[in-house]
Structure 1
């Protein structure tokens, strides 16, 4: 697999950022995507570490969601903060992960991430609807490790 600079084209990134913005339009939830080449840590542990590093636990409703991709390691994880984790059904993240990975296996990285993001946004909308005084607490851009 290519490095972080080649993993997603500029157009792919625009598609993903648009999916984040669409998903966040109807919810107070915050969604981020982080890609990096390699980590010695297991993907879920590394995703939790990145979640903290990005300050995603600082959202008012504790409803941030991180999509983590380890490019060279062929790893993927989704981490939801405690607010959203308490609200969704126990297998929600696994089912969302399956949707994303099915696309990844076909080399459709942007489509996989976008579908997962929109699925998460739809569920966030159910439990954390958008309020008139809501503000975008975290950037919508893709972060890199």
Structure 2
């Protein structure tokens, strides 16, 4: 159990996320997802979670473990071509995780996703949250366009709207 992490999560409030990612930023992120998906057949979701609850903190749940839970809850795995990708931000930790369905994950691999996460986290350290998320979306989209080219003609299987948990 990491006491410093617990305190950070308890002191992080939803208004902090809304200040870092205000309504206009969330709209820009939604538009970026829609624009990105128009160039390939993949699906992208973005979710930001303010902090973990007590139970998760006491179990020392990692951002990765939580991202996998969110991937399932948002049904990102439920795409026809197994090419859904979740970009998850645990705001209290400024930790980004990318969870990808087996089709696209097989093509990109953990190191490819980790590079995108590190770039996003670097932008966040400079308080560039909107720009960091949009750059991450573009990087994920680049992989999807390479491995699932096309005009997204199978329809929008997942909502483009960001989720604030």
Query: Comparing both structures, which one devotes a greater share of its residues to helix?
Result: 2
- Describe the SS at the equivalent of 2:157: coil
Q: Confirm whether residue 42 of structure 1 aligns to residue 62 of structure 2.
A: yes
Q: Confirm whether residue 8 of structure 1 aligns to residue 33 of structure 2.
A: no
Q: Confirm whether residue 125 of structure 1 aligns to residue 145 of structure 2.
A: yes
Distance 1:24 1:133, change over 3 A: closer
Gap runs ≥5 in structure 1: none
Q: With structure 2 as the length reference, what TM-score do the two structures score?
A: 0.81
Contact 1:68 1:78 in 2 (8 A): yes
Contact 1:22 1:118 in 2 (8 A): no
Name the CA distance, whole Å, in 1 between partners of 2:18 and 2:109. 35
Name the CA distance, whole Å, in 2 between partners of 1:86 and 1:76. 20
Q: Tell me the equivalent position of 1:105.
A: 125
Name the CA distance, whole Å, in 2 between partners of 1:95 and 1:73. 18
Shift of 1:108: 0.6
Name the CA distance, whole Å, in 1 between partners of 2:148 and 2:140. 11
Q: Tell me the equivalent position of 2:34.
A: 21
Q: Tell me the equivalent position of 1:136.
A: 156
Shift of 1:132: 6.8
Aligned-residue Cα RMSD (Å) equals: 1.6
Within the candidate set 116, 132, 146, 1:96 is matched to 116
Gap runs ≥5 in structure 2: 1-11
Q: Work out the number of aligned pairs and report it.
A: 145
Q: Tell me the equivalent position of 2:102.
A: 82
Q: Bigger shift: 66-75 or 30-39? A: 66-75
Q: Tell me the equivalent position of 1:57.
A: 77
Contact 2:43 2:157 in 1 (8 A): yes
